[in-house]
Structure 1
Amino acid sequence: SDYFQMLSGICPELATAEAGHIGSARFPKLRHVVALRGKAPPGVSTWQALLDAGESVESERLDEIDASLRPTDVVNIQYTSGTTGFPKAAMLSHRNLLLNAYYIGQCQRLSEHDRICIPVPFYHCFGCVLGTLACAVYGAAMVVPAEHFQPTATLDAIERERATAIYGVPTMFIAELEDSSFAGRDLSSLRTGIMAGSPCPIEIMRKVIDRMGAREITIAYGQTEASPVVTQTRTDDPLELRVETVGRPLPGVEVKIVDPASGAMLDDDQQGELCSRGHVVMQGYYNDAEAIAAAIDRDGWLHSGDLALRLLNGYYRITGRIKDMVIRGGENIYPREIEEFLFTHPAVEQSAVCGVPDPKYVEELCAWVKLKENASVTEQALRDFCRANLAHYKVPRYIRFVDSFPQTVTGKIQKFKIREQMIADLGLCEHETA
């Protein structure tokens, strides 16, 4: 992305400004834009100039600034991924981020002896909190495989640097496991890591443990607005809990499951919306009071929009997104159940299921399916596979074989774009409902 061009579009003063003195009419508090490498454009400081400026600050001034800081001060404005629409600006504090980095490290048993391979973006909570900040907290080494995610480069880095932990969203782990160079690699240094960012398929978790050798891999669940982790499995959890649940709440975090319609708290094993409260909850959305009111209720509970249930043992299982739920002929269908089942077909590498408009049933199921390399299967064969094991109304009417999915830069599949594409391609019409 050409970030300078983007900035120039909203701040034309950059073209004639002196570095450090931008004087923007639209952004009067903006003083510095820093280029990380290369020749700095007009109005932009170099990375070295930023480092040099730090040397000129008196220690007394640093002490004064340090004393003025509070744990609840906003240190990071982190944008959400935009899987359901336009990204929102979540304001996160020192306390939010440091406690999250500390506790996720505890769950992995991190120490100064660990070397964490971090192929996820550093501008996302996964990279900057669970990656950079957690490494700083524990003194662990950061292994950066490439500027952008590349499965081969990630595997190279694990092998070359003897990484003990690996991070990634499910799509990254799938790409690594299916990489043509995977066979024969020495990944024996791997011990732990985190799979997070979107629902983690059980089959993929088992392959990461069995084939990659990350015996103590953990699953973390959260959202940007929660700094980001709310629940996480622990390295000593039984295998079935580490592959089939998202663990227990981090220390100091409350979690409850509520009825999405009434807000009433639900009992164990009842599906509802997951809500969290505690040190993970953001300070709010920047300049968006309406969105804050919708996300955080008067009692301080952050509403996730995710469907989940609490097991009798206190562990949580994510079952889908409220917005993803498909209502076909009055039957509530959760796409994740179908996606998990499709993963068990030997030809399927990945799938995404969503609802599309239908004149008879209001909504019908649509599945986008990516096949493994050199694999082959027909639409009808996949339907027959589903029909033999799922209720008839859970069998996708529309199946499209694809090479890729619309994704955010962090690897989350954007189902609203799949829905829009299918509506356009099939000439479907949205139906108004009461």
Structure 2
Amino acid sequence: MLRRPQGNLSYVSGVTDDPLRFVTLSQALDETVAAHGTRAAAIFSSEREVMSWKELQRQSDDVAAALLGLGLQRGDRIGMCSANRREWLLAQFGAARIGAVLVNLNPAYRSTELEFALNKVRCRVLILARSTAAGNHLGMLRVLAPELDQPGAKPVLESRRLPHLRHVIVLGEGLVPARAERFSDFLRRGSANGKRRLAALAAALDPDDAVSLQFTGGTTGAPKAVALSHFSIVNNARFAARAMQVGEGDKLCIAGPLHQSLGLVLGVLTCVTTGATMVFPGPDFDPLRTLDAVSRHRCTVLHGGPALFQALLDHPELPEYDTSSLRTGIVAGAPCPADMLERAVQLLCLDELTVVYGMTEAGPVTFQTDVDDPLELRVATVGRVHPNIEVKIVDPDDRIVPVGRLGELCVRGYSVMRGYWEDAKRTRDAFDETGWMRTGDLATLDADGYCRIVGRVRDRVLRGNRLVCPEAVEALIRRHPKVQDAQVFGVPEVKPEGRSDAKPEGNRGEDLCAWIVLAPGAAASAEEIRAFCRAKGEAEQVPGPVRFVAAFPVTASGKAQKFAMRASMVREMKAREIKTA
């Protein structure tokens, strides 16, 4: 049977009974318009607005024609920085129609991150929300590019710090800087001639062209721009929908942000490839708005990360909302706690909720559980490989390991990124000579093809003669009743206080360091945490240095930055050694 390892080796290939479709985003949208034109494509719940598939096509073509009016061509990059709103969909499909590349920018970016992203991929156009819950974006851009306010005959930007950016389009009404323009004014740039060109431009596109640039989280340093093709994300959305058995009668609640693959690919494109209706509760995630949208619009599908589901499940007003229409969805982005999944099934009626494993570079989904998988498999694994994708698990010498043995997960297939944008070295480092992409994740495959993700290769800590996965230690510490969250990482072994027999610095190994956020009102000592780990775990899982912190340093997308924690601890430990030497 396919999807099971071949022989006793940790290699598996997805089923091929559903052929890949070599189409662009525009072609996928056009097919859905032809089949479901007057049906609802998107419901914007808080705005009380409904958009049909025909309207989505027409309005996104208006954007495409306006982009042509700015002089944009195939391959040009368009930045989008906004919360979830109608214009994001229009920009996504308008850019795709003419072959431009949408650069998905996190509205939580700080000014340095926005400057890096815009310059890295040389954006010519930036479509920008005036402000969101994350901050005043127009004000931040004015600091980066004070030239925005210089008087001029045309709203064209010439900025010293953003030398490639020429056009800034501001969403919403109100005054805009002299060198920017409102979205409504931008739309007037479209001409009848431009609209007549759209069909020919779209027909000339190659599904292998890049259509989306998404920046990785930057948990280990500067973010990388991942280039994904039409072919990759359209098919990945199709197969995610197939795993959930989503069809034209479903309504998919998109409560997470569109700048992430979970919203953009597994949300929007899942609906485009099936004819299902998108339901947006509001611009930003809010538990009550989400519950209200699910209840009012009878949503059947709900996606989110564990934090999103936890916020819904913990909200005191959850019992007041009818979520009985829910059936399936996706949990992604982080390990799924067993108790959370069980509560989602019981309290949100998500009997067929699926768990996925993916990464931005993989398009995004590689593994997904089936709707009829037993709960214990959905808790312990990330399911089996998607159709038309190959995976293998290898040892440090790149040899495929036996079934059940731990190793690094590698992926090959249609969904894998084209590469890191104009970064040949990092792209070469990510792939081997036969096209396998190294994920950097430690995993196992069982005899039935179910995958378990254990941790990150680079995060493993060598204690004595054993490699320890920090993720396992984090899970152990989180079981302590006083702990809200924990991050564990390796630091150089240092001389314990009061001892003079420690190894010289050059001969030292690694130690486990734990940063811990305690539950509200709780108090604990480092030794209390260590004693708990000794009692509940293995000797190698007992941390050395323990620090209690109010919060972890995180990226704009909310992922913990272990490299920053490690650097802070190394500085502190070196300072202590100098002081006690």
Instruction: Select 2:272's aligned residue among 120, 129, 136.
Output: 136
- Provide the C-alpha distance between the structure 1 equivalents of 2:482 and 2:299, rounded to a whole number of angstroms: 31
Q: Deviations 1:51-82 (Å, cap 9, x if unpaired)? A: 44446345541121012101011111111111
Cα gap change, 1:339 to 1:325, in 2 (>3 Å):
same
- Provide the C-alpha distance between the structure 2 equivalents of 1:409 and 1:176, rounded to a whole number of angstroms: 22
Cα gap change, 1:250 to 1:72, in 2 (>3 Å):
same
**Mapping 1:141-160, distance limit 5 Å:** 141-160=277-296
Q: Deviations 1:319-366 (Å, cap 9, x if unpaired)? A: 001121111223211012122233444444432222222225632222
Counterpart residue identity of residue 180, structure 2: V
Which residue in the other structure is 2:444 paired with? 309
Tell me if structure 1 keeps the 8 A contact 2:156–2:180: no
Cα gap change, 1:384 to 1:310, in 2 (>3 Å):
same
**Larger RCO: 1 or 2 (CA < 8 Å, sep 6+):** 2
**Mapping 1:317-328, distance limit 5 Å:** 317-328=452-463
Instruction: Select 2:529's aligned residue among 382, 395, 404.
Output: 382
- TM-score, structure 1 as length reference: 0.88
Instruction: Select 2:414's aligned residue among 264, 270, 279.
Output: 279
1:428 CA displacement: 6.2
Counterpart residue identity of residue 332, structure 1: L
Which residue in the other structure is 1:230 paired with? 366
Between stretches 89-98 and 232-241, larger displacement belongs to 232-241
Tell me if structure 2 keeps the 8 A contact 1:230–1:253: yes
Which residue in the other structure is 1:419 paired with? 566
- Provide the C-alpha distance between the structure 2 equivalents of 1:98 and 1:18, rounded to a whole number of angstroms: 42
- Provide the C-alpha distance between the structure 2 equivalents of 1:227 and 1:35, rounded to a whole number of angstroms: 29
- Provide the C-alpha distance between the structure 2 equivalents of 1:295 and 1:312, rounded to a whole number of angstroms: 28
- Provide the C-alpha distance between the structure 2 equivalents of 1:341 and 1:27, rounded to a whole number of angstroms: 46
Tell me if structure 2 keeps the 8 A contact 1:255–1:275: yes
Cα gap change, 1:404 to 1:28, in 2 (>3 Å):
closer
Q: Which structure has the larger Rg over C-alpha atoms?
A: 2
Q: Deviations 1:168-193 (Å, cap 9, x if unpaired)? A: 22233333333444466543332221
Secondary structure of 2:536's counterpart equals: coil
Asked if 1:127 corresponds to 2:263, the answer is yes
- Provide the C-alpha distance between the structure 1 equivalents of 2:316 and 2:510, rounded to a whole number of angstroms: 39
**Mapping 1:204-353, distance limit 5 Å:** 204-259=340-395, 261-353=396-488
Which residue in the other structure is 2:173 paired with? 38
- Provide the C-alpha distance between the structure 2 equivalents of 1:273 and 1:238, rounded to a whole number of angstroms: 26
Which residue in the other structure is 2:325 paired with? 189
- TM-score, structure 2 as length reference: 0.67
- Provide the C-alpha distance between the structure 2 equivalents of 1:374 and 1:117, rounded to a whole number of angstroms: 35
Instruction: Select 2:234's aligned residue among 78, 98, 116.
Output: 98
Instruction: Select 2:513's aligned residue among 366, 390, 409.
Output: 366
Counterpart residue identity of residue 223, structure 2: P
Cα gap change, 1:15 to 1:265, in 2 (>3 Å):
farther
Cα gap change, 1:208 to 1:18, in 2 (>3 Å):
farther
Secondary structure of 2:552's counterpart equals: coil
1:164 CA displacement: 2.3
Secondary structure of 2:226's counterpart equals: strand
Cα gap change, 1:377 to 1:181, in 2 (>3 Å):
farther
Aligned positions, number? 429
Secondary structure of 2:200's counterpart equals: helix
- Provide the C-alpha distance between the structure 1 equivalents of 2:340 and 2:546, rounded to a whole number of angstroms: 22
Structure with greater helix percent:
2
- Please tell me the root mean square deviation across aligned C-alpha atoms, in Å: 2.9
- Provide the C-alpha distance between the structure 2 equivalents of 1:181 and 1:403, rounded to a whole number of angstroms: 27
Asked if 1:176 corresponds to 2:176, the answer is no
Cα gap change, 1:95 to 1:236, in 2 (>3 Å):
same
Cα gap change, 1:184 to 1:299, in 2 (>3 Å):
same
Cα gap change, 1:379 to 1:354, in 2 (>3 Å):
same
Between stretches 83-92 and 111-120, larger displacement belongs to 111-120
1:222 CA displacement: 1.2
Secondary structure of 2:356's counterpart equals: strand
- Provide the C-alpha distance between the structure 1 equivalents of 2:303 and 2:280, rounded to a whole number of angstroms: 11
Secondary structure of 2:248's counterpart equals: coil
Q: Deviations 1:392-432 (Å, cap 9, x if unpaired)? A: 120123334444333333332222223233334555689xx
Between stretches 241-250 and 23-32, larger displacement belongs to 23-32
Cα gap change, 1:180 to 1:347, in 2 (>3 Å):
farther
Cα gap change, 1:62 to 1:184, in 2 (>3 Å):
closer
Asked if 1:405 corresponds to 2:552, the answer is yes
Cα gap change, 1:169 to 1:207, in 2 (>3 Å):
same
Counterpart residue identity of residue 169, structure 2: V
Cα gap change, 1:386 to 1:411, in 2 (>3 Å):
same
Asked if 1:65 corresponds to 2:212, the answer is no
Asked if 1:393 corresponds to 2:528, the answer is no
Q: Percent identity?
A: 41
Task: Give the unaligned 5+ runs of structure 2.
Answer: 1-134, 495-501, 503-507
Cα gap change, 1:330 to 1:58, in 2 (>3 Å):
same
- Provide the C-alpha distance between the structure 1 equivalents of 2:523 and 2:349, rounded to a whole number of angstroms: 29
Secondary structure of 1:323's counterpart equals: helix
Asked if 1:202 corresponds to 2:349, the answer is no
Secondary structure of 2:257's counterpart equals: coil
Cα gap change, 1:411 to 1:233, in 2 (>3 Å):
farther
Counterpart residue identity of residue 393, structure 1: E
